[in-house]
Every structure is written in C-alpha cells, then in structure tokens.
Amino acid sequence: MDLGLKGKTAVITGASIGIGLAIAEGLAAEGANLVLAARGGERLEAEAARIAGTYGVSAAAVAADVATVAGTEAIIAAAAEKGGADILINNAGTGSNETVMEAPDEKWQTYWDLHVMAAVRLARGIAPQMKERGGGVILHNASICAVQPLWYEPIYNVSKSALMMFSKTLSTELIKDKIRVNCVNAGLILTPDWIKTAKQLTAETGGNWEGYLQSVANEHAASKRFGTPEELANVFVFLSSERASYCIGSTYFVDGGMLKTI
C-alpha cells in the first residue's frame, strides 16, 4: 500500500529511543523527511544520522526540552527551516510514581508542562505551517492510562487524560484547515526503559527481569505479551497518511487487549 508519505516533513518529539524512534524509522521508511527532538543531543544526532543514511531522507536533530517554551520554539524554528511540517507527532513523555497525598505541586506542574503544554505550544507553532502547506496531521501519544489508570502513577494518568481531551478539542478547531488530529492510547510497549526498570526491580532477587516483564504482561494484557515499538509505530504511520483521511478527532487503542471496557 503506498501511503503517500514520500517527501512529507514530520516532526517527532521524544525520538531518540523507544516508541518515538520507531515512529521516526517507520515514517523514514515511507520516504518522509524528519525533524527529531529530545533533550539528549548526542544519542539523537547519532540516530538522526543513522536513519538519514539508511532510508535516504533528511533528518534534523533538535536537542530541546519540550516542557519549556524555549524548547518548543527551537523545534518550531527547525520545522520552519525545512519549509514547514506536514506531520507532528507529540510523543515525548514519561511515567510517574507517587500518591496524590504526597506529591508536591511542582511535580504536577512538571508533568502538565511535559504532557500537555508541549502539545499546546507545538500546535500553536506548527499548525500555521501546516495550514500554509494545505493541511497536515497531528498525533498525540497518550496512553491507555488516560482512561484506565494504574494506581501508582496518578499524575501520569491525569496528565495523559488531559492530553487525550486536548487532542479531541484541537481536532475540532483545526479540521477546517484540513489538519487531522488524533490520539493513540498504547498499552504495554517493550521499550528499553521497561527493560531497565525490570532489571533494577529484580537485581536483588535473582535478576529474572524477563520473568518480571512476563508477569506484568500476564497481569495486564489479554494477549499476555508486550507489544513492540514497531507494532505501535505502524499505527502512527498509517494515521499520518492520507489512507487515514476519515480518521478525525478520535483515540485509537493499541494495547494487546489491556483495555477492560468496550
């Protein structure tokens, strides 16, 4: 299936590892040029160079913190330098661990800036570029936790839920400019971060990190397995394309059967 993504320009945040990197590769494999963002410049630059070399596309690396105004401005400027973006993937984010009773205001603010304000600021800067180019696609990587919370990360649950609502609201505002906005809620996706956590948690009890991950999958996902970043990236790539032309203002679950409601 030709997805028609050749020559499009895609901005992807959190693109140096894990899901964001898989989305970057998926879009590059379809011929899209990339503007990749993450805080750590060294890894990002290495991945951008590797992807550009592998797929014959251009890939710019922007070392930027999306939770700050300056960071989002740098990303918007990098996209403008490429002549504007056609696709924006708001992917940067991270889990949390706290209780409502104990977490300070500052922690709530940090996650609000990372999960919500980054998307707000990037939409404000990049949607006008898309409009000028005749339309575009904005995708938000929220989480199944936006609707089915995990007890140990209330701030993550709440901020991802807000991102999901932002996505819906933005969609209504931007569809007149031919910009399709959607949200993706993933379940368990096996990224290096999950492996690192599993190794840490099992270090003092025999080191069976694979067994730990299997127990997590058994507990949460009907499929009893984690998804791969590539399995999730495939959905982002499809939603980025004209083949998904009637997908507007929705949230798509990619969770291996983790969602417990219809």
User: Which residues are tagged catalytic?
Assistant: 156
Residue ranges in 65-94 that form contacts with ligand NDP under rule CB under 6 A: 65-67, 91-94
Inter-residue contact 260 to 148 (CB < 8 Å)? yes
- Contact between 171 and ligand NDP (CB under 6 A)? no
Residue 182 binds ligand NDP, judged by CB under 6 A: no
The footprint of ligand NDP on residues 195-234 (CB under 6 A) is none
Alpha helices (H) in the chain, listed in sequence order: 18-29, 41-55, 69-81, 105-112, 118-132, 154-174, 192-202, 209-220, 229-240
Of 116, 90, 256, which Cα lies nearest the Cα of 189?
256
Quick one: how far is CA 159 from the chain centroid? Answer: 14
Closest CA relative to residue 159, chosen from 220, 118, 102: 118
- Tell me if residue 2 falls in helix, strand or coil: coil
Query: How far is the C-alpha of 257 from the C-alpha of 216, rounded, in Å?
Result: 13
**189 sits near ligand NDP (criterion: CB under 6 A):** yes
Q: Considering the complex, what minimum distance in angstroms separates the CB of residue 25 from ligand NDP?
A: 13
Minimum distance between the CB of residue 95 and ligand NDP, rounded to whole angstroms?
6
Out of 3, 5, 12, 14, the only residue in the binding site for ligand NDP (CB under 6 A) is 14
CB 187, min distance to ligand NDP, A: 6
Q: Quick one: which segment of 24-32, 38-46, 167-175, 209-217 binds ligand NDP (CB under 6 A)? A: 38-46
Q: Does 164 bind ligand NDP (CB under 6 A)?
A: no
Of 54, 52, 17, 18, residue with least CA distance to 35: 52
Binding positions for ligand NDP, rule: CB under 6 A: 13-20, 37-40, 65-67, 91-94, 114, 141, 143, 186, 188-189, 191-194
